[in-house]
Amino acid sequence: MDILRNDDLVRIEVDATRSMVTTEWKGYVPSPDYRAILMQLLDAVTKNELRLWLSISTHMGIILRSDERWSVEVYTPMLMQAGLRRVAVVRSADFFSQTASERMVDATADYVPYKVEFFNSIGTADGWLMQELKTFAK
């Protein structure tokens, strides 16, 4: 397991043996940092040919509407091209952050080739990802 970043905003880990990147959001992330973090994640997915993303969003703060739009219109197509297959999101305790996450998933549900699911615990989310990995690794 490689730790790509660990600061007051986020922890990013790559587990190449499980084809997974994990982000653990630590609170509110200003717009420039939010976008830079997601681009760093995209780079890790591309370089390591990762297929799974575990987003631990329990402590994530509000996501700005402009960042929601950017995530849907700009970032999602890049993530699709990188070959990501599954995303498990551990729900934020912040209602507004959770609502923003759900809006982004709903806005892309009709055209993304990967599954996105929401969970209440890290263990359940991780278990789902490992089960999903088995289904497309055969």
Q: What are the pLDDT digits (tens) for 41-65?
A: 999 999 999 999 999 999 998 889 9
Query: Which one, of 129, 136, 131, 133, lies nearest residue 56 by Cα?
Result: 129
Q: Are strands 52-56 and 20-25 parallel, antiparallel or unpaired?
A: parallel
pLDDT at 138 over 70: no
In this prediction, residue 93 carries a pLDDT of 77
- 40, 70, 113 from 20: Cα distances, Å: 14, 23, 17
In this prediction, residue 137 carries a pLDDT of 63
CATH code, domain with 114: 3.30.750.24
Domain range for 43 is 2-137
Q: What are the pLDDT digits (tens) for 57-96?
A: 999 988 899 999 999 999 999 998 999 999 999 988 777 7
Give the total number of structural domains in the chain.
1
